[in-house]
Amino acid sequence: MAIAVTEAPPEPPAVRVRPKRARRARLTPGKVLLALTAYAIAMIFVLPYAEMIISALRPPKELLSRGYLPRHYDWSNFTSIWKTGFGQNLGASLKVAGGSTLVVLLVALPAAYYTARRKFRGRSLFLLLVLATQMFQPAAMLVGIQREFISFNLPSPIISLILVNAGFNLAFAVWILNAYFSSIPAELEEAAMVDGTSRLGALGRITLPLALPGIVTALIFTFIGAWNELLVALTLTLGAPDKQRPLTVGINNYIGQYSIDWGHLFAGSVIATLPVIALFALIEGKVVGGLTAGSIK
């Protein structure tokens, strides 16, 4: 008996599927105009920094030349500035800005957390008084600040500057952190405490990571405010040695009555911007990470 053997049908040839290309966004006159406007605004903010760097690299003979770019670049301003006591001024500014930021965070964090979680009598009045302190100009209080710290007889003007700058920026930090703490549901902390975590543990593991963008915002504004402050620093450091004068006072000393040391003035200004840029580079990623960190157990 013969058995018929049927052959399997041939497989169809493989068809290559080309991946779909992402459609390019069509350029419209509105988008082009918006991009050009954005570039123009960016150039307005970048040009002063570019001029500052170019002037710092310009030789003394070419300071009054008409060309925007110098024919020769001179790096001596960045090397010789350290012989004028600029390094001591830089160290004093780091102490003042860092100390002020630390004091503000140590005081503002518990104050903002308590006012956000506790509804006590006079809470609105307290927050209003905190906000009212931001309406006073430092120049209007300068004489009183100087007489007060003279009566304190503090050993160093750096301590005085730390306290003054912390006081100037404390109200803003309390308001920012209070808003962030209020936006975080209290149920997250309650769930953590049900599982056996203490209130401090819930604060450290849940609330603070979620409030990290607000903490970073308060840190940045406090550091920059203390770093750029001149009027109070110029008043409280009268007669003090160079190592106790911050950068703003040290850079101001390059402007004399009859002449201006343009090379060191611009070189010092360039160096003074580097710590702030480094601070932004270090904490930029933590701002986004703090939006979700701590919300998932």
Which sequence spans correspond to the domains of the chain?
Answer: 77-289
The two three-digit tokens of residue 236, written as one number: 């409280």
Evaluate the CA torsion angle 107, 110, 115, 118 in order and state its sign: negative
Mean pLDDT of all residues in 229-251:
86
Q: Do the beta carbons of residue 107 and residue 229 sit within 8 Å?
A: no
CA 111 vs CA 4, 114, 178, 179, 252: distances in Å: 92, 5, 8, 12, 37
Evaluate the CA torsion angle 117, 123, 129, 131 in order and state its sign: positive
Task: Pick the range with the lowest mean pLDDT from 53-57, 142-146, 270-274.
Answer: 142-146
* pLDDT tens digits for range 202-221: 888 888 888 888 888 888 88
Per-residue exposure over 193-221, b if at least 16 CB sit within 10 Å of its own CB, e if not: eeeebeeeebbebbbbbbbbbbbbbbbbb
- pLDDT above 80: residue 20: no
* pLDDT tens digits for range 33-50: 888 999 999 899 888 888
pLDDT bin (cut points 50, 70, 90) of residue 238 is confident
Distance of CA 239 to the CA centre of its chain: 31
Long-range contacts of 238-244 (CB under 8 A, 24+ apart): 240/157, 242/85, 242/88, 242/89, 243/85, 243/88, 243/89, 243/91, 243/92, 244/92, 244/156, 244/157, 244/158
Residue 196 CA to residue 180 CA, distance in Å, equals 25
Q: Please indicate whether residue 265 or residue 194 has the higher confidence score (pLDDT).
A: 265
pTM tops 0.75, yes or no = yes
Provide the CATH number for the domain formed by 77-289 in this structure: 1.10.3720.10
- Give Cβ neighbours of residue 234 (< 8 Å, ≥ 6 apart): 248, 249, 252
- What pLDDT does 18 receive? 59
- What pLDDT does 1 receive? 47
Average pLDDT in the chain = 81
